[in-house]
Amino acid sequence: MTDLATPYYLIDESRLKHNLEIIQQVRERSGAKSVLALKCFSTWSVFDLMRQYMDGTTSSSLYEARLGYETFGGETHAYSVGFSRDEVLAVREFADKLIFNSLSQLRRFHPDVAGLNLGLRVNPGISYSNFDLADPARRYSRLGVSDTAALAEVAPWLKGLMFHFNCENPDVDNIRASLETLGREYGELLHRMEWVSLGGGLSFTQDGYALDAFCEALRAFSRTFDIQVYLEPGEAAVTQSTELVTTVLDVVHNEVDIAIIDASLEAHMLDHLIYRTHPRLASPPPGEHRMMVAGRTCLAGDVFGDFKLAAPLQVGDEVRIADAGGYTMVKVNWFNGVAMPAIVVRRLDGTLERVRSFGYDDFKRSLS
């Protein structure tokens, strides 16, 4: 199976394992448990591997919670920015922890879920994020409870608190300072809880990350408040594990050479379009030839980037977009009806397995 038709996402289990082993180290050295953030990555065909290194999943909807429960196992944390009552009744049947986003949701549904392991999301008013769009402490944020006095009132109903205030934070000093702030502002409350989730967005599987200091900070926090810490790695679990493998369909020239590949930034790597960022290429290698790489939808801005490559791209060449695992497959869409990338897994033993492919019927069914 060496001649797979492009486009496809290629998830490399060996690279995934590299991240998972770091997560495992952090579990052992800090005592913090890790639950996979399904909002970032929920390609369940690799969960057999992932569950060996993680404690379960966390979710942002009933469907994600159910997917985690059915396909990952371990602990199932169920959170939603806004549950409906039907969803609460469904999710309570299998969730280990049920985390509400607001006091009003907690109060409304408390009669339905009293006795369960309940948590509440807190907005600590601090954050680390490069993008206002993704900043949970932005002005008018609806994410979590800011009112500390009200929090204290409902504390008897709660076993845990969730703080989610990071987004791609690579800085351990910053995290240490944040933990101090949380301790200072919420210390009394934390002493009364069994668990606290520090959310995701911590880039602790990156090369060169100060793991010792990170683990020590987590352990100290956990000891101070006699509390179980949870991390919610999403991107950290899958970073650098996945490529989007494509083929050049055409090369055109408009001031620069532009290679059009059989994928789309908007349809297949949406966050780069939303945040106006550009992915890196895993191949071909860099060099002196300037070449834009663009997607195949009709959107003028469907551009992967402006690169300098070792050789000019030709029709039929393969182009691999790097780091295409997080926040990609979870938000693919059928814009322009362009062919949807298949999902291929390189298993630990090196075999390639095409776990999902999409066709015309999937496209048609997405509409009516």
Window 214-273: residues binding a second copy (CB under 8 A): 247, 249-252, 254-256, 258, 260-262, 266-267, 270, 273
Residue 260 in 3-state DSSP? strand
DSSP characters for 217-269? HHHHHHHHTT-EEEE--SHHHHTTSEEEEEEEEEEEEESEEEEEESS-HHHHS
Please report whether residue 81 would count as binding a second copy according to CB under 8 A.
yes
Q: Least distance in Å: CB of 58 to a second copy?
A: 10
Return binding residues for substrate: 235, 271
Q: Which of residues 123-182 bind a second copy (CB under 8 A)?
A: 123, 132-136, 138-143, 146, 164
Q: Least distance in Å: CB of 279 to a second copy?
A: 17
Q: What angle do CA 122, 124, 130 make, to 5 degrees?
A: 110
- E-only strand ranges, 27-86: 33-37, 56-59, 75-79
Selected from 69, 83, 195, 214, the binder of a second copy by CB under 8 A is: 83
Pairing of strands 342-346, 8-12: parallel
Query: Site mask, a second copy, residues 91-130, x = CB under 8 A?
Result: ----------xx-xx--x--------------x-------
Pairing of strands 303-309, 242-254: unpaired
Q: How far is residue 268's CA from residue 334's CA, in Å, rounded to a whole number? A: 9
Among 43, 49, 45, residue whose Cα is nearest residue 23 = 49
Token pair recorded at residue 271 = 């966050």
Identity of the residue, 17 or 164, whose beta carbon is nearer to a second copy in the bound complex: 164
Q: Least distance in Å: CB of 356 to a second copy?
A: 4
Selected from 172, 197, 338, 346, the binder of a second copy by CB under 8 A is: 338
Q: Which of residues 21-60 bind a second copy (CB under 8 A)?
A: 38-39, 42-45, 59-60
Selected from 12, 64, 75, 323, the binder of a second copy by CB under 8 A is: 64
